[in-house]
Structure formats: C-alpha cells, structure tokens
Amino acid sequence: MRPGILQTHDYAQAVIDGSRRWRTDQETLPHLQLQVLPFATGAHPAMNGTHTIFRFDAGGPVVVVEPMTTSLYLEEDADVGQYDVNFNHLRSQALDTKRSRTFIRDVIKEIR
C-alpha cells in the first residue's frame, strides 16, 4: 500500500466497497493480520517500493522487490534478512490490528 492511500477519495471508496469482504476475510482467514501505517508516521523503509517475503514448506524464503518498473527476486540469506528487519520495523511503526480496524472505520465514516 502506498503512503496516504486511505486519504485519497478513490481508494477510501474502495475500502468502503471492500469492507464487507474484509469482515468476511477476518472470519475465514484468521491468520491474516491487517495493520495500517498512517501517513502521519512520516518516512519509513518501504517508501521506495513494495516487497513481499514468500516462505515455503520446502526451500528457503524468497523476497520479491517491486520498484517502479521491474521485479527483483532475492534468495540470499543476507538479502532476505535485511527485508525481514525492514518488515518488522514497518510492523512496529504501524497501528496494531485493533487500532488499524478503528482507523479504517473512521476513514469510512469520514468519506460517507
């Protein structure tokens, strides 16, 4: 998710449209943890692009880095370790799941 995305009307509307699915997902996907990183947090390590860490039953983890025009696949332990640290830093800066739900509900109320 991009910084400030919930503050744009189009994306906030998409949140409203998806809120019913999200509530359903919370019930059917208990392993899903949603956390919001508010715009007010300021600069953070994910501002230059997104990354996803995939972990598999067999083999090591793979990090997919997606800057603006390409994708990189990283498998070296040192690279994966850096992205693990980055991810944990983002999680520590983000609202916890309960406060994230409240934040999303407040945004929905604000744009209705």
Task: Answer yes or no: do 10 and 26 share one domain.
Answer: yes
Helix axis angle for 9-28 and 97-111, nearest 10°, is 140
Domain match, 4 and 48 both: no
Q: Are residues 80 and 103 both part of a single domain?
A: no
Q: Exposed/middle/buried for 67, CB within 10 Å: 0-12, 13-18, 19+?
A: exposed
Structural domain tally of the chain?
2
| ∠ Cα 31 16 87 (to 5°) | 40
The verdict on 44 and 80 lying in the same domain is yes
Q: List the domain range (segments joined by +) for residue 52.
A: 39-93
Same domain, yes or no: 24 and 70: no
pTM over 0.75: no
Residues 45, 17, single domain; the answer is no
Per DSSP, 4 falls in state T
* pLDDT average per 10 residues of sequence, the chain (112 residues): 57 64 59 82 79 92 89 95 92 90 80 69
- Check residue 1 and give its pLDDT: 45
pLDDT of residue 26: 59
* pLDDT of the residue at 23: 57
